[in-house]
Amino acid sequence: MVLLGIDPGLRFSGFGVFKKEKGKTSLLDYGYLKMSSSKSLIERVGVFHDFFDEKIKKWQVTELALETPFLGRNAQNFLKLGYLRGLLYLLAGRYNLQVHEFSPREVKLSVTGFGGATKEQVSRVILKILPGVKNVERDDVTDALAVCLCGVWKSRLARLI
C-alpha cells in the first residue's frame, strides 16, 4: 500500500506519502505545492492537477487520504477548494485509488488523542512521531502528514475487519 495524504489549498497544498509493506510503514515524500496568487484560478487548478498526477505516478500511489472540508467564513474559498477536491476524485478514479476521508476532528483525535487539538499541537505530535521530518515551513505539511497517518492507521484497521 502506498498512501498519499493531501491538505489541499488554493495557495499552498501540503502532502505526504507513506508506504506500508510487510508490517513496516515508511515515509517516502512530504512537502507542499506553492501556487502564486497572481495566477488565475484556472492556471492554479491546472498546476494542482499536474503536480498530484505526477506524485501518484512517481510513487505508484494506491490510496488517497483527505480531510473533509468545513464551511468557514468564506463560502467562495469553500467552493474553490471543491474544485481541487474534484480533481483529486478525478485522479482517484483514473488510477483506481481507494479514497479515505476523515473529519478534522477525527484526524486530530487519531494523531493527538484530542479531537479539539490546535494546529500547533498536531504539528508538535507529527514532528515527534516522525523524527525524520525536518524543516517544515508550513502547517499545511504537518496537516497533510496527519491526514496521511490517519489513513495508514485506519486502512490497516479496515483490512482487519
Catalytic residue numbers, as ranges: 7, 67, 140
Nine-digit cell string for 142: 504537518
| 113 Ramachandran zone, left/alpha/beta (phi>0; psi -120 to 50) | left
Strand, coil or helix: 17: strand
> Which residue has cell 493527538?
112
Strand, coil or helix: 6: strand
DSSP state at residue 68: P
Instruction: Determine which helix (DSSP H) or strand (DSSP E) holds 80, and give its type and residue range.
Output: helix 75-94
Q: What angle do CA 92, 7, 160 make, to 5 degrees?
A: 60
Cα–Cα distance for residue pair 57/125, rounded to 1 Å: 29
**Are the beta carbons of 61 and 2 closer than 8 angstroms?**
yes
